């Protein structure tokens, strides 16, 4: 497991009974977590008096309760800064476990010894975009949601990257990659975090199990002749990291050489010393 253990502005204090108690900077949140299926005694008083908790509804969805939170606030990870906002469906706009991937990408870019261009697909609020740009890469950030791209711009600004070479693209990722292939544009690295399920702007249905492999194959068409890395991340329940590795080896290693590492991502839990699993990642590089 790759554990994002270097946070100071974020921690999971405890988890269990389907929830986790977290600290985001100065604020304490209780949020649902489908992986925390074990029972645990709630000895920390913040379980019962958080600054905000998200309660699921028996009829679907849910809402924030006990909310004593600002509209937004900032957290830092090393040299990166992100703006946090409580959102619908329990999210805050950042997945802290991705810090393990940010460290990998930043290290690869800084040690490449040449300019690196990165394509970030399904890029959400730009964690990987900010990390890669901070390391000196030029980045193309692509997401279909206008609000998420605007939020990613804010994260770049608060990280001191207002003038960085970042292209902000609001588009369907499949269609964008197809157009980039026709234009002959190439990238040295690709980062992707495709959803389990979604609909495109024209009603196209995306199911990860059906679409992931052909999409990864498609993306190989925009890699440069000397690619640096490809990171594929997934939060789809039941999709093992070894599946992402098999796809990566089949598509990238067979064509470019190199090799692939794969693991679960995790976050340390302060009160138990254990790690909460938080999705799967494969990292191809050479």
Domains parsed from the chain with CATH numbers: 2-78 (2.60.40.1180), 96-285 (3.40.50.150)
Q: What is the pLDDT of residue 67?
A: 81
Structure confidence at residue 201 (pLDDT): 61
Rounded to the nearest 5 degrees, what angle is found at the Cα of 248, between the Cα atoms of 244 and 250? 120
Residues of the chain with pLDDT under 70: 200-202
This prediction has a pTM of 0.94
């Amino acid at each position: 497991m790759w554990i994002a253990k270097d946070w100071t502005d974020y921690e999971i204090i405890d988890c269990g009974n389907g929830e986790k108690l977290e600290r985001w900077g100065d604020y304490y949140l209780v949020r649902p977590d489908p992986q925390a299926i074990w029972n645990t005694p709630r000895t920390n008083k913040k379980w019962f008096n958080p600054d905000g908790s998200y309660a699921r509804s028996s009829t679907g969805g849910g809402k924030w309760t006990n909310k004593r939170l600002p509209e937004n606030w900032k957290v830092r990870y090393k040299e990166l800064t992100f703006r946090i906002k409580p959102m619908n469906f329990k999210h805050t706009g950042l997945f802290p476990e991705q810090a393990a991937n940010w460290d990998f990408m930043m290290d690869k870019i800084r040690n490449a010894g040449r300019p690196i261009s990165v394509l970030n697909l399904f890029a959400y609020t730009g964690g990987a975009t900010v990390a890669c740009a901070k390391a000196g890469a030029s980045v193309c950030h692509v997401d279909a949601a206008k609000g998420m791209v605007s939020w990613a711009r804010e994260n770049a600004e608060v990280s001191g990257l207002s003038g960085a070479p970042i292209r902000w693209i609001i588009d369907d990722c499949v269609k964008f990659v197809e157009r980039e292939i026709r234009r002959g544009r190439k990238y040295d690295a690709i980062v992707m975090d495709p959803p389990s399920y979604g609909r495109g702007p024209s009603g196209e249905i995306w199911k990860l199990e059906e679409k992931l492999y052909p999409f990864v194959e498609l993306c190989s068409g925009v890699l440069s002749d000397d690619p640096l890395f490809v990171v594929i991340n997934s939060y789809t329940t039941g999709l093992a990291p070894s599946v992402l590795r098999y796809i990566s080896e089949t598509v990238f290693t067979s064509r470019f050489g190199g090799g692939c590492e794969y693991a679960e991502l995790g976050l340390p839990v302060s009160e138990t010393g254990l790690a909460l699993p938080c999705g799967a990642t494969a990292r191809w590089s050479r």
